Chain A
Amino acid sequence: MRYAETGFNLEVDLTRGNIEKVATDPRDTALYLGGLGTNAKILWDRVGPEVTPFSPENLLIFSAGLLCGTPATGCNRTILSTISPQTELMAFSMMGGFWAPELKYAGYDKVVLRGKSEKLVYLWIHNDTVEIRDASHLAGKGSVETAEMIRQELKQPKAQVAAIGLAGENRVYYASVEQGRSSASRGGIGAVMGDKRVKAIAVRGTKDINLAKPEEFITLCNDVLAYIKHREDNPIKGVMTILQGLGSPQEMKVHDEKWHTENFMWGNSRTRRKGFWNEEIEEAWTDTLEGARTRLISCFNCPMKCGATISMPGVPTYMMKCFTKLTYTMAAYSDLDFGLRIAQKATEYGLDGFSTPQVMAFALELLEAGILKPDDFPGLPESNEDRFFYLLDMIVNREGIGDVLAKGTYWAAKEIGNGAEEYAHNTIKKHEQLPLKLSMLNPIYFLMYAVGEKINITQIEGQFPQAPFPKREHREKFCEDWIQVPHEKFKQYFIDWELRGENSIPYYPTVEMTCDIVEWQEMMHYIDDALGQCAGLSSFPLKPPYHIHNYPKFISAGAGIDMDEETLSDAAKRYRTLVRAVNIRRGMRREDDRPPENHWKKRFPELEEKLLDGYYQLKGWNKEGIPTKEALEKMGLGYVADDFIQRGILTEDETADVQTETQTQ
């Protein structure tokens, strides 16, 4: 018997309309765990570098994490993987909600879509009955609307539906897949779903998920619940409000937006508005949120309330989470009321709340600069807010200039030319990032931004505080119950970290320490993404209930795979490298590992190179960021090495040349 996982994937060939239930190899689970790990393996095996995002050969994988559907608190994430139209690299966006556990209960770990349907369809998975159904009546419908219509049509109120809106149908490069109170937004996964002509996947399951060592597993779950209570009663002092507790940032709960509105950039990541936040605004925004928010809500099997139901007069009810609360507001220099209203429309269209507002602000900046002309915007409304609604429709319907803007700032700027590229200034690997412009380079964040292949800083950071605490005694106090550290050395790194002087950024933490810290944070996120655990109870907040010391026990007791800390770290490193390998094979190199030029005012080019060298060395990659044959073979990825050598990406005798060079310096 397979434990925690079902041992079956659904393979759907949309071109032929064929559906197969395929048994998976438990050895792959031991090596790559599940979720992101086995997704990466499938993409490596089956999607060559010649496959373009909108080709029928591109796969779109919906995967439940390894522990989804077990009683592990907060383990509910669906990991979607494909080749992104925007970055042309591997995209692996995640969504919480209720979909992944339902898929497990229906008897499957993954749904692998290949080919392309001729007409718009949706998938209905009900235990052993799986159908491809006509969705022509759902064309153009909103994502929330679609989910409701499908539930009614099937007479299955308990079905969980993941759907795209019009943006996905029209292949907007930053289209999302929406589901309940959650969405997979980054990387344009919704566009690939739309290209395959799949409007939605509805699932309902009533089968059992088994555990290998039941009593042990439930004890672990009870410990996690007790720790969540403990953390709720003991918020972390000395850090900003949203970092004090657990869960993803409690944007739907907090009213104090001083930090975001004064430190993040407004417009297309252009203007910092120091002193913006005042009592009047706080009062108005508090009223808006309290008037709009019906209830704080959770994902499957999780006590945290990170999302909210939003109902505003004249606007259909929708669900919202996290920082999208502010992205539209800040892009348009408007207020929260506008932000929440346009986010409703954008959610129905199925759009990434990070990229979309920036693209719209970018378009208006180009108009202001004379790079785009009034003719490009026929019938442009007068008011600022109306202009954003207008642009949203243009982009989603791909009308006129909207057709170009639908490709994101990087590609749109290239197409528009005439100096537009300078305005596409906030991308990493061609993808829009959080609107930040900071002062002094922070080595930890530099490295996370540069090498993060998840394209979203909040999906890489966590565990280690973002800045030193002013006083040593506070830092020592913080370390007293810091049980999550994989090694005691991290405590010393933090205790010695000062705001000013020798032990301050950018030269402290040192290159070596920075690499250690980044590797730890990255590892935790990668583990979460294989297990299906929400980062909000694990890799994102400080002092979370899940960590490297209890995770191996969860996997052993849950999935029945012998696991200790070393084996787990090795597995995470293995599929992290495999994601890298997929991207290297698609042409990604050191050149691509860099944050936007103007991300920090004070840059340190030499230090930045050393940080990259140090990180590559730690990973066993060569100077170009390509995993070496030696390192690959050590991880059990000899097949990747063979492929690289065959393609001339690596030479036979290439070793970690970075190491030799660093040593001789």
Chain B
Amino acid sequence: MAGKTKEKKIVKTIKIDVDKCNGCRACEVICSAFHASPKYSSNNPARSRIRIIREPLRDIYVPVYAGEYTMAECAGRDKYTIDGKEYDECSFCRASCPSREEFKEPDSGLPLKCDMCEGEDEPLCVKWCLVDALTLEEREEEVEEQEEMEDLELGLESLADKFGIQTMMDTLARMSKDDKSK
């Protein structure tokens, strides 16, 4: 399980300029393609770890990339008015939570989290955003941090939340038994 380390690290941030977003959703396309298995073999914006909250008639274009998985939804939904436009709190929230369909695998419902396209020079949503609504910012920081959770851990955690650890373990045991008998 994740351990704690203290080290110098490049911290990557995706800077979002909502005024520059043209709502094309290229970021969603390439994100889902990159995270397909094998890589690029399919794409499906519903699996993307970045989403554009897009309401053209109200001129709302907010790219949001997936953050933490949360088991519970928040208690209220605040409204924010910025430059005369009213935004729902969900427009800025990066959580994969029970009350929204964003940042979940559409078939399994398992949560998704942005990993900054590990292994690439820059996140591919940034690379594919030719209008510069998304730009990469890097800074060096000495951080004490928990290792990033892998996709599998993230998924397992949400399953444990949903079904309980014991049920999961029982199921795993049964599945591996079934597997051996094949």
Partner of A295, one of B22, B30, B33: B22
Contacts of B45 in A (CB 8 A): 105
8 Å CB interface, A273-298 against B = 294-298
Residue of B nearest to A98 (CB): B25
Q: Are A319 and B56 in contact (CB under 8 A)?
A: yes
Known: A225-B128, A295-B59, A319-B56. A301 touches B26 (CB 8 A): yes
8 Å CB interface, B100-149 against A = 106-107, 127-131
The stretch from B34-42, B65-73, B157-165 touching chain A is B34-42
Q: Of residues A148, A217, A296, A301, which shows the largest number of chain B Cβ atoms within 10 Å of its Cβ?
A: A301
The answer to whether A309 has its CB under 8 Å from any CB of chain B is: yes
The answer to whether B24 has its CB under 8 Å from any CB of chain A is: yes
Q: In angstroms, how far is the closest chain B Cβ from the Cβ of A150? A: 14
Q: Are B57 and A148 in contact (CB under 8 A)?
A: yes
Known: A218-B33, A302-B26, A303-B26. A209 touches B56 (CB 8 A): no
Complex CA distance for A148 and B36, rounded to whole angstroms: 32
User: Per-residue 0/1 for B63-100: is the Cβ within 8 Å of any A Cβ (1 yes, 0 no)?
Assistant: 00000000000000000000000000000000000000
Contacts of B129 in A (CB 8 A): 303
Q: Are A296 and B22 in contact (CB under 8 A)?
A: yes
Q: Are A225 and B130 in contact (CB under 8 A)?
A: yes
Complex CA distance for A98 and B61, rounded to whole angstroms: 15
The answer to whether B168 has its CB under 8 Å from any CB of chain A is: no
Contacts of B131 in A (CB 8 A): 303, 305
Residue of A nearest to B45 (CB): A105
Q: In angstroms, how far is the closest chain B Cβ from the Cβ of A492? A: 35
User: Per-residue 0/1 for A618-630: is the Cβ within 8 Å of any B Cβ (1 yes, 0 no)?
Assistant: 0000000000000
Partner of B57, one of A205, A210, A228, A317: A317
Q: Are A301 and B42 in contact (CB under 8 A)?
A: no
Q: Are A215 and B40 in contact (CB under 8 A)?
A: yes
Complex CA distance for A73 and B29, rounded to whole angstroms: 10
Contacts of B127 in A (CB 8 A): 225
Residue of B nearest to A305 (CB): B22
Q: Are B130 and A211 in contact (CB under 8 A)?
A: no
User: Per-residue 0/1 for A58-84: is the Cβ within 8 Å of any B Cβ (1 yes, 0 no)?
Assistant: 000000000001110100000000000
Q: Are B22 and A297 in contact (CB under 8 A)?
A: yes
Known: A295-B59, A299-B24, A319-B56. A229 touches B130 (CB 8 A): yes
Q: Are A214 and B39 in contact (CB under 8 A)?
A: yes
The answer to whether A181 has its CB under 8 Å from any CB of chain B is: yes
Chain A interface size, as a band, is: 35 or more
8 Å CB interface, A327-345 against B = none
Residue of A nearest to B42 (CB): A208
Complex CA distance for A215 and B130, rounded to whole angstroms: 21
8 Å CB interface, A164-180 against B = 180
Q: Are A297 and B56 in contact (CB under 8 A)?
A: yes
User: Per-residue 0/1 for A451-494: is the Cβ within 8 Å of any B Cβ (1 yes, 0 no)?
Assistant: 00000000000000000000000000000000000000000000
The answer to whether A21 has its CB under 8 Å from any CB of chain B is: no
Complex CA distance for A214 and B30, rounded to whole angstroms: 12
Complex CA distance for A112 and B74, rounded to whole angstroms: 44
Q: Are B22 and A303 in contact (CB under 8 A)?
A: yes
Q: Are A210 and B24 in contact (CB under 8 A)?
A: no
Q: Are A228 and B130 in contact (CB under 8 A)?
A: yes
The answer to whether A610 has its CB under 8 Å from any CB of chain B is: no
Contacts of B23 in A (CB 8 A): 297-298
Q: Are A180 and B56 in contact (CB under 8 A)?
A: yes
The answer to whether B16 has its CB under 8 Å from any CB of chain A is: no
Chain B interface size, as a band, is: 20 to 34
The answer to whether B13 has its CB under 8 Å from any CB of chain A is: no
8 Å CB interface, A138-172 against B = 144, 148, 157
User: Per-residue 0/1 for A198-242: is the Cβ within 8 Å of any B Cβ (1 yes, 0 no)?
Assistant: 000000011111110011011000000100110000000000000
The answer to whether B154 has its CB under 8 Å from any CB of chain A is: no
Known: A225-B128, A297-B56. A215 touches B39 (CB 8 A): yes
Q: In angstroms, how far is the closest chain A Cβ from the Cβ of B104? A: 10
Contacts of A303 in B (CB 8 A): 22, 24, 26, 129-131
Residue of B nearest to A105 (CB): B44
Complex CA distance for A296 and B24, rounded to whole angstroms: 11
Q: Are B43 and A73 in contact (CB under 8 A)?
A: no
Complex CA distance for A437 and B17, rounded to whole angstroms: 45
Contacts of A144 in B (CB 8 A): 57
The answer to whether A526 has its CB under 8 Å from any CB of chain B is: no
Residue of A nearest to B59 (CB): A294
Q: Are B59 and A71 in contact (CB under 8 A)?
A: no
The answer to whether A300 has its CB under 8 Å from any CB of chain B is: yes
Contacts of A210 in B (CB 8 A): 41-42
Contacts of B25 in A (CB 8 A): 98, 300-301
The answer to whether B46 has its CB under 8 Å from any CB of chain A is: yes
Contacts of A214 in B (CB 8 A): 33, 36, 38-41
Complex CA distance for A305 and B107, rounded to whole angstroms: 33
Contacts of A311 in B (CB 8 A): 59
Residue of B nearest to A148 (CB): B57
Contacts of B61 in A (CB 8 A): 295
Contacts of B44 in A (CB 8 A): 105, 206-209
Residue of B nearest to A144 (CB): B57
Q: In angstroms, how far is the closest chain A Cβ from the Cβ of B73? A: 17
Q: In angstroms, how far is the closest chain A Cβ from the Cβ of B55? A: 8
Complex CA distance for A209 and B42, rounded to whole angstroms: 5
Q: In angstroms, how far is the closest chain B Cβ from the Cβ of A221? A: 8
Contacts of A105 in B (CB 8 A): 44-46
Q: Are A206 and B106 in contact (CB under 8 A)?
A: yes
Contacts of B57 in A (CB 8 A): 144, 148, 309, 317-318
User: Per-residue 0/1 for A113-154: is the Cβ within 8 Å of any B Cβ (1 yes, 0 no)?
Assistant: 000000000000000000000000000000010001000000
Sorted nearest first, the 3 A-B pairs with minimum C-beta distance are A214-B40, A206-B46, A303-B130
A and B contact pairs by CB, cutoff 8 A, 30 listed: A69-B43, A71-B33, A73-B26, A105-B45, A148-B57, A205-B46, A206-B46, A208-B43, A208-B44, A209-B42, A210-B42, A211-B40, A211-B41, A211-B42, A214-B39, A214-B40, A215-B40, A225-B128, A228-B130, A295-B61, A297-B23, A298-B22, A300-B25, A301-B24, A302-B24, A303-B22, A303-B26, A305-B22, A305-B131, A309-B56
Contacts A70-B43, A303-B130 aside, 11 further interface pairs with beta carbons under 8 A come to A71-B33, A214-B36, A214-B38, A214-B41, A295-B61, A298-B23, A302-B24, A303-B129, A317-B58, A317-B59, A318-B57
